[in-house]
Amino acid sequence: MTISRRGFIAGLAVAGATVPAVYYAHKELTHDPEDDIVTPGEASVELADVAGQQLADQLRGVWDLRFEGSQAGITGLPLHGVQLYLDVATKGRGLRGFVDQQSRLEGPGSVAYRVVGDLVGASSAQVRWRLLSNQGDVDYECIASLDEVWGNFANAGSGTLSGRLQPLDRSMALPLLDSHFVAVKRLFPEARERLPYTPELEAWLTSPEHRLFHQLWHATRDKWDRLPEEKKGALRGLGWQPGPRDHERDARGPRKHRNGSGIDFLFMHRHMLETVRTLQDLPSWTHFPLPKPNVEQDRQGFARYFDNHDGYCVPPTWQAPGDDAYGVWVSAIKAGETFCSNFQVWESQYQDPLYLSKLTLGAFGSELEMNLHDWLHMCWASVPRDPVNGAPVPFARDPADFAARWFSAENDFLGDPFSSHVNPVFWGFHGWIDDRVEDWYRAHERHNPGQVRRLEVNGVNWFAPGRWVEVEDPWLGPVTHGCSSVPGTFPGKSVEMDVETMKLALRITFGEDDKIGDLVRRVPQRPWYARHLSLRGITL
């Protein structure tokens, strides 16, 4: 026992103290340290921190178990063909699950073992849980370390849990049994594995023309309000300004809810839907798919969910090295609590006649795009991967990278307009959004009868301009607002829709330091192309 100098001096300094400082020193010397131990006070809500949530994301799922060692295995189960279900609630710290053969885990009856553990003090280096027998057999302790296949990327891929397995009724004074296990996490199936396209539709969706069109249509609207005038002028010269020339409609500026950009958003996607549905029947969601069920409440539903049985289950979250905030943001959007606090509210509001009757079509479209739409894309996105080797690319493809590998059908990342429309989930939730346009119309028929009139616009069933419909010329890109009749690379295509023109427009939109002239000179020169650019005020 040592005496605190500060405590000793404090004792000496007490003016008029009736107890001498020597007594204080004696008390310190004879103090029992157990007197300082205090039992825990009242309980408080303790949620997992960011590291705990990331560990839970890595553990949650279905694992294939195998047992190793001369004394390996657990009572009542074979050495192979055994599965482990692990579940942790959002921001939770309790680890729960089951262990048994796959057929019994997916069946309605009881299973061999329950998993009971917690993540308090746990890390990827050591996770502990118990296997509690449901048949009165031996219980076990499992101590495992997590090895992510992708290392510090922690990117929703496979991984391994390896550790030792010891019966709880065995004395720790005895030598440890030669009993180990390895669990390999099953990959979450991609939506394309559950919702295949017809060959005709897949070819159309993955074509360079449509990939570039969809990316560029969104990019110019999204970035227009922040582009310098030099870039705006170049895009106008290429015919890719968002809307009528000099009266463009940006999608993210301060007037987005009043400039009619929301109408462009709704109209373009309705046009896309009508086109793809001529090639394949792609139904709308009738409601938002529900979050992952709790493994203890619905074991069979848990298994179906991680098998992505209908293609619409939310894929696991992922992390980006060096940017914890990004990983937290993605994880939060995918969380079950976000579904209940945000998605279900939007699902209600956007079918509520009273709510819809107060919105113009442009304001409604802008609200859908900024709120629900963007989060739908990220919530149902899988970790972006390099199509060649499957390695995770946490921040996704560079928007100005047009390497050949990104044009493959495997690149269907929902977070990038270049690839999002290739993902079959895209058509489910965009169909749901489009159906809400009809709800909007019916809401106005109820509350503002006769004030909204139907009208066919560019072959699309739409609405006439008026009090509740701000613009009469929805923007479909150069198809509706271009001015060139010069053919592009492909017959029937205008120069604005030429692949190289769209690549140039995207490089202009996303380029940071390159001069516009330098970008233009990179495009393969063709006489008609040079003449077209010169007519639009761009000098080669």
pLDDT tens-digit profile of 166-214?
999 999 999 999 999 999 999 999 999 999 999 999 999 999 999 999 9
Maximum alpha-carbon separation in the chain: 106
331 neighbors 317 (Cβ within 8 angstroms): yes
Local confidence band at 485 (pLDDT 50, 70, 90 cut-offs):
very low
Query: Any idea how long the chain is?
Result: 540
Lowest mean pLDDT among 175-184, 363-372, 495-504: 495-504
Alpha-carbon gap, residue 353 to 331, rounded angstroms: 32
Q: List the structure tokens of 488.
A: 């592009």
Of 62-76, 149-163, 209-223, 439-453, minimum mean pLDDT range = 149-163
The pTM assigned to this predicted structure is 0.86
Distance of alpha carbon 82 from alpha carbon 64, whole angstroms:
6
Residue 529, pLDDT > 90, answer: no
pLDDT of residue 34: 65
* CB 47, CB 255: distance < 8 Å: no
Tally Cβ neighbours within 10 Å of residue 36. Answer: 7
pLDDT computed for residue 43 by the predictor: 87
Q: What is the DSSP track for 182-244?
A: EEEEPPPPPHHHHSPPPHHHHHHHHSHHHHHHHHHHHHHHHHGGGS-HHHHHHHHHTT-SSSS
* pLDDT over 60 at 25, yes or no: no
Residues 6+ apart with CB under 8 A from 337: 90, 91
Q: What distance in Å separates the CA atoms of residue 427 and residue 286, rounded to the nearest whole number?
A: 12
Q: Is 130 exposed, middle or buried (0-12, 13-18, 19+ CB in 10 A)?
A: middle
Residue 353 has what pLDDT? 98
Measure the CA angle with vertex 283, ends 280 and 289; round to 5°.
140
- The DSSP string of 421-445 is GGSHHHHHHHHHHHHHHHHHHHHHH
pLDDT score for 275? 95
Answer yes or no: are the C-beta atoms of 447 and 354 closer than 8 Å.
Answer: yes
CB distance 327 to 441 below 8 Å? no
Q: What is the pLDDT of residues 240-283, one digit of tens each?
A: 999 999 999 999 999 999 999 999 999 999 999 999 999 999 99
Residue 3 has pLDDT above 70, yes or no: no
